[in-house]
Amino acid sequence: MKDVDARIANLSPEKRALLERLVNRERLADTQRGSAGDAISVLPRKSKIMLSYAQERLWFVNQIEGGQTPYNNLLPLRLQGRLEVRALERALSEIIARHEILRTTFPMVDGTPEQCIHDPLPCTLVCTDLRHLHLNAQDEKVLELADAQTAQRFALVDGPLIRSSLLILDDTESVLLLTLHHIVTDEWSTDILIRELITLYHSFANGLPSPLPALPIQYADYAAWQRGRLQGEVLRRQLDYWREKLADAETLRLSTDHARPSLQSFAGARINRIMSRQLKEQVKALARSAGATPFMLLLTAFVVLLRHYSGQEDILVGSPVAGRGRKELEGLIGFFVNTLVLRTDLSGNPTFSELLERVRQVVLGAYSHQDIPFEKLVDEFKPVRDLSRNALFQVAFSVLNAPESLSNSASQSLRISLVPVALRTARCDLECNVLETADNLGARLVYNTDLFDASTISRMLEHYERLLHAVVAAPESRVDELDLLTAEERQQLLVQWNPYPDPRQPSDTVLARFHACALRDPEAVAAEYGERRLSYADLDAQTNALARYLMAQGVTPGDRVGVCVERGLLFVQAVLAVWKAGAAYLPLDPAYPQSRLRFMLQDAQVVCVLTQASLVERMRTVAGDQRLLDITSATVAGFAQDEIPDKPEAHDLAYMIYTSGSTGDPK
């Protein structure tokens, strides 16, 4: 197998691209043909109907989080022309009748959730007349009612899981608000719903019957087929692949503007940025020359951006795939979308071209093993339940094509378009959607407003665009050399934020500068985290006492001290104290796997580990013979807080940082 991989890697970009197209074409054909034993059969409706894996996880999330609304999908449609309300109601009724999933509820039966399919009922629109309002007031009212409908919780047990209302603006313009729970729909399904709504409305408005063919299967049939198929050898092969790819993966820790809430809130917003058509063409050309796709290149640039914002070299990003590899699934409404976890290794400061090749291999491997539901991966890896963040990944990425015109015929009496509405939810910390249109390239960042400020996200989008310009201009540049800063930011960094106009002296150290600040303005804020602040005077005194405590424990100049504390002021105190004791610090993230922590401690030959009371038990299992010193111990306060006369020199070792390592071990 390795010989085959090596031969593929040695192919030219053009031959690799051709091979991938042929393999994908054959795989798609095999998937669509299926074998007789792999066909999706119609399930007897009187039998027990289980949820699909995706539905099952979403059902349990809904129970745990009390029915919060980040999974309410709003579809706001502007209808221009003389509207036949009865024809619109008939069209919606027909869609609900032909797609069983839209009249399905999810009760608990004998301890497990099941799908319960109900008989079709006629749809009656709730109409609100806004004709008495002027235009600006109408727009505000539309957004207000859209927010209210989206914020209304669905009861998965009772249903219905689709809501519809009609806002009448005047005799020739209305807004249709459709809200569906994600457990019965996805983005692909939204396109199906819109297409069928247009087709059925125009048929019924003209006195014609439905032209849509009957559906051969329903979502319930797919759910049963999925569960029957993902067993035995098929499941084992898929799980083996992902076990290898995601072993000992790190949690992405982006710098945030606000402390992470203990319970994920899903409060969100989005910011858009339009990039030029020239950049779009340059991205496509560079991807083509590298034997990659624009998605791969855009993802690579985004991963580089995350590396700059996190300082990490092992990055996980979630990316959606349609989950409709079979022909008979293409016309169904339902929750088919799957999420792939794409892991990128940025160690060794590769060139962008080298990193693009790494990402290309990651994406191809993931697509070849996309049948395993994300929910199965979560069950397999069993991450420690953390209600403050998503499992496995916190950042998502996708590339979208601009939707075609909703009204595809100028002769039709009703024109349909999407109503732009504000986004109020975010399903993860950060989600980047790149939108390719005929005219340009757009980027949208959906972000959690409890973590990030709008100004930070705007700056991040600008940095992403600058990264793309940098890589298309010089793809052989190394990742650390790619320029993100704008001219204004560079001016701020070098001039406005630099209080020392003269060049630094070679003998300057961080401690010397810190001491100078403490003498000049002792009551100024030196460090701040959340609601806590420390002045220079307090921070200086506390770290002097902690440094003397370390020296009393045998720490001498040139030693290495492990530092394992939670993010916050304790980390700042620990680093300064280690330096004042003349030693170097080794940062140890408490979220790292134990095997990684154990390797780093042994490899760095630390003399002790400085930690805090809440982490002592965890560190005891990995520290071995190394001593554990509690930074929060009352003993520390008993040491003198006056200045320590002996200070490290500029050439002394300050810290040791381990990267992920291309061989599997940190280095």
| Domain range 252-489, CATH class | alpha beta
User: Is 309 in contact with 254 (CB distance < 8 Å)?
Assistant: yes
Q: For residues 146 and 419, what is the distance between their CA atoms, to the nearest angstrom?
A: 10
Written as six digits, the tokens of 509 are 């150290």
Position 421 scores a pLDDT of: 86
Position 507 scores a pLDDT of: 57
List, in order, residues 6 or more apart from 55 with CB less than 8 Å away. Answer: 106, 115, 183, 223, 335
Position 468 scores a pLDDT of: 97
Position 141 scores a pLDDT of: 96
Q: For residues 662 and 658, what is the distance between their CA atoms, to the nearest angstrom?
A: 12
Q: For residues 646 and 544, what is the distance between their CA atoms, to the nearest angstrom?
A: 12
* Count of residues in the chain: 667
Task: Report residue 353: phi and psi, to 5°.
Answer: -60, -40
Which residue in the block uniquely carries the two structure tokens 């503007």?
257
Which residue from 560, 562, 559 is spatially nearest to 571, judged by alpha carbons?
Answer: 562
List, in order, residues 6 or more apart from 10 with CB less than 8 Å away. Answer: none
Position 27 scores a pLDDT of: 46
* Cis check: omega of the bond before 216, within 30 degrees of 0: no
CATH architecture of 53-219: 2-Layer Sandwich (3.30)
Q: pLDDT tens for residues 438-487?
A: 888 999 999 999 999 999 999 999 999 999 999 999 999 999 999 888 87
Domains in the chain: boundaries? 1-33, 53-219, 252-489, 510-638
Q: For residues 528 and 258, what is the distance between their CA atoms, to the nearest angstrom?
A: 11
Position 20 scores a pLDDT of: 56
List, in order, residues 6 or more apart from 43 with CB less than 8 Å away. Answer: 49, 220, 221, 224
User: Is 332 in contact with 99 (CB distance < 8 Å)?
Assistant: yes
Q: Do domains 252-489 and 510-638 have the same CATH topology?
A: no
User: Is 210 in contact with 203 (CB distance < 8 Å)?
Assistant: yes
Q: Average pLDDT of the chain?
A: 88
Position 33 scores a pLDDT of: 39
Q: For residues 22 and 12, what is the distance between their CA atoms, to the nearest angstrom?
A: 15
Burial 638-647 (b: 16+ CB within 10 A, else e): eeebeebeee
Position 306 scores a pLDDT of: 97
CB atoms within 10 A of CB 509: 17
Burial 61-95 (b: 16+ CB within 10 A, else e): bbeeeeeebbbbbbbbbbbeeebbeebbbbbbbbb
Q: What is the dihedral of CA 296, 297, 298, 303, to 10 degrees?
A: 80
Position 266 scores a pLDDT of: 85
Cα first-last separation, the chain: 28
Which residue in the block uniquely carries the two structure tokens 């630099």?
498
| Domain range 510-638, CATH class | alpha beta
Q: Which residues does the chain have with pLDDT short of 50?
A: 1-6, 25-37, 405, 408-411, 662
Q: Strands 116-117 and 415-418: what pairing?
A: unpaired
Q: For residues 576 and 582, what is the distance between their CA atoms, to the nearest angstrom?
A: 10
Position 31 scores a pLDDT of: 44
